[in-house]
Chains A and B, each alone.
Chain A
Amino acid sequence: MTTAPDHSPTMAQASLWGRLEPWIPVLLIPALIVFGFLAIPATSSWLTLTVSGLAMGMMIFIMASGLTLVFGLMDVINFGHGAFVSVGAFVGISILLGLGSLTGAPSLMLNLLAVLLAVIGAMLATGVMGWAFERIIVKPVYGAHLKQILVTMGGLIIVEQLILVVWGPDEIFLTRPETLKGAITFAGAAIEKYRLLAVGVGLVLFLAMRWVLRSTKIGLIVRAGVQNGEMVEALGYRLRLVFIGVFVAGSALAGLGGVMWGLYQEVITAHMGANMMVLVFIVVIIGGLGSVEGCFIGALLVGLLQNYIAFLEPKLALISNIGLMVAILMWRPQGMMPVVKAK
């Protein structure tokens, strides 16, 4: 009889790289900001660009977060998501234009109240629309990706055309509320007030969403549903109801994003949602389908990169996001933080 071979467990700490690796996506943002600092000669323009990149990223995140959750939860890919962005913008801006007395007043409180009313109106409209969209367009084609893509694309076309019917074919120009116009100067850099507001709203929303997903029961069910829907249903939860709720919330967030993007651009068109979808898809893909954190990081990366490159080499700005997507997919083919396993 031989003695058992020696085996003494080794208690080595994971290597620095091993510990660092999960955090790489997060570290990419400061890395990109530092890259911008080195590449852009003047510090003041770097600061301006960084703030506007963050603002843009936050707005893209607001639009993209609903899409990624809807996909994660029910494996539904909604190409019509852009329709909610457009409708949100048109409803919200119409309310703002109607509240001329509030937006024209030089008081910050009144201005914010007007924006708040517009946002609530837009979110209500797109929320209801999302519910109807889910019922009419998406519900009959569960489980069939090909049909989903085709049908939601058809839905997008219909909604865009209906916007043209209701609001007319011309683009609508608008001005921001009185106290949100102009810029403040900080360390020699001109920073538009509205962009600061956008960054604030986006950050609050991200933290709130994280809190809901991590610390509430409903968030637990949503996250569990993303990971393994059948198991959650087997435990007795009606995932369909949760899903409709997420779909409606995602649509309402897209509407919010639409209002904010409209105020940012100061012009709205029926096609703005479809145009934004290009960036939204890039963000959703590089973030990893189903991941809110990945979506947030992806959105900030896209926003920052777009602004830096547009300053350094305007012609490259368009391709820069595609390049970013290619680079990230080469590194992590499932996106930075994939939640949904490849099906």
Chain B
Amino acid sequence: MDKIIKNPETEEKSKQEKEDSKISRRGFLTGSAAAIGGAALVGTYKDASAYKEFSGWPGRFGCLTDLTACVGCRSCEKACNEANNLPKPDVPFDDSSVFKEMRRPTAHAYTVVNQYKNPKDENKPLYRKVQCNHCNEPACASACPIHAYTKTPEGAVLYNPEKCFGCRYCMIACPFYVPAYDYESALEPKIVKCVMCYARIKTGGIPACADACPVGAITFGKRSELINVARKKIMTNPDRYINHIYGEHEVGGTSWLYISGVPFEHYGFPANLPKKPLIEETKGFLGAVPVVFTVWPALFGTIYASLRHREDMEKQKHGEEEEKK
């Protein structure tokens, strides 16, 4: 199985785009004439829309984990540990005793592999690699009051410890229980989580885990293409896979996608998540803030003024009555 997909279609498309961009002399002249007329100036505003929509960085990358392929060898854990200079683990990476309990990413490990019972075959346990799913619209980033998180155009969600003050609201917000906190440190505690090997993918490489997987269970590529790959796999092997790509729609979609032979709940994936990004849940509230800021002073100011006015009127009345006496 390919660890990285190159799509011939997209390559062709970009060639064509290049050709299109070569402007013919004649076209150039007409264009200049139009520009003189000022039409070109108007043209640049033509696609301005009152409705702003951002459906994610177009060329973002992702990974597709084929849960049916994973054999639980933990090579990905080892490769991740080395690539990201993480501390040596207490138990070596070839020790399968770690499967006795469910683990999660920690301050010392970006990713862990867990073992699950196979409902189809008792003797063939299932495995799942857990790491950050790099959401399209990450809840951790929406939660952070200091903007310590960034969703990069490449797809990776990155965290900047220089900005963080350690409120850990990102951990509350993450629907996948991914960010871990370095509680042991008194002076420089920070969030620790998978970075999708950002430095490697920036220079044309692929994440260390995908590179290390001996059975090709992790495919790296453009997210849009990975969805096609996943669909094709499901369509050609309907007996092997269930018809669900986890991460295609969950919480607005994630860069890390999964296909599986059994329902995802078996692997402990949360099944109760909305399809829209979690930030949508707080938008209504945050939208009310400017309303409160403008309406409240007017409203309460008026109430105060009206009561003062009534007081004045009463005083005046009393004064008049006393004068009469």
Q: State yes or no: do A and B come from one complex.
A: no
Binding site for A on B (CB under 8 A): none
Where the two chains meet, the residues of A that have a C-beta atom closer than 8 Å to any C-beta of B are none
